[in-house]
A and B are shown apart, each in its own frame.
Chain A
Amino acid sequence: DIQLTQSPSTLSASVGDRVTITCRASRTINNWLAWYQQKPGKAPKLLIQEASSLESGVSSRFSGSGFGTEFTLTINTLQPDDFATYYCQQYNDNWMFGPGTKVEIK
């Protein structure tokens, strides 16, 4: 089975910061990677799929990149609404989520 790791597990940042979250796969998943945002008590929300394709209606401050085994989610100009937990998910070999990265207010 493919394993996913995310770093960091927690990220402290301020409004206006640029933040980057990394997701690594144990073997190549090509570009079959998605990013989700989840707020407490809410369902996850799809932000990006196929590693870099932004979902309709998602702010352009979010961007994704990567191919193979290493991927990044970047949030530019962090806004108060962006403080949440972010999960990567591979769908190259069945489906699996990374452990999550909590973006908290510094």
Chain B
Amino acid sequence: EGQLLESGGNLIQPGGSLRLSCAASGFTFSTYVMTWVRQAPGKGLEWVSTISDTGFSTYYADSVKGRFTISRDSSKNILYLQMNSLRADDTAVYYCAKASRVRGFLDAFDMWGQGTMVTVSS
């Protein structure tokens, strides 16, 4: 059974940077589109960013465009989210998630990590 394990969450000051990681195991990472989803405290789910299986195509929510960068290292089975110019409203649990179909682009997410908490506060 596959697994996703996020790390890198922390308390960070406004304007700071943070890089999240998501280690994948138990499936062929390089053949799946991967996504970051976040959830602010007490709020709903918000799609953040998606990267194609090849890593060549990336997509961002307007709320993070120009500040966040998604990437992947398929030799290490790790997904990343580089977050710059962090703001208080970026405070959330960040989940990584896997597309349900091999090379599925517009797809549901059938595997999620446990999440990592990012708190942006002075």
Produce 1/0 per residue, A30-62, CB < 8 A to B: 001010101000111110011000010000000
CB atoms of A49 and B108 under 8 A apart: yes
Q: Say which residue of B47, B95, B112, B113 sits within 8 Å of A95 (CB atoms).
A: B47
Given known pairs A49-B100, A89-B108, the reply for A97 and B47 (CB within 8 Å) is: yes
Q: In the assembled complex, how far is the CB of residue B95 from the closest CB belonging to chain A, in whole angstroms?
A: 6
Given known pairs A43-B95, A43-B114, A43-B115, the reply for A91 and B107 (CB within 8 Å) is: yes
User: Which positions 14-63 of chain B face chain A at CB distance < 8 Å?
Assistant: 35, 37, 44-47, 50, 59
Q: List 26 A-B contacts (CB under 8 A).
A: A42-B114, A43-B95, A43-B112, A43-B114, A44-B95, A44-B112, A46-B108, A46-B110, A49-B100, A49-B107, A49-B108, A50-B108, A55-B110, A87-B44, A87-B45, A89-B108, A91-B108, A94-B47, A94-B106, A95-B35, A95-B47, A96-B47, A97-B37, A97-B44, A97-B46, A99-B44
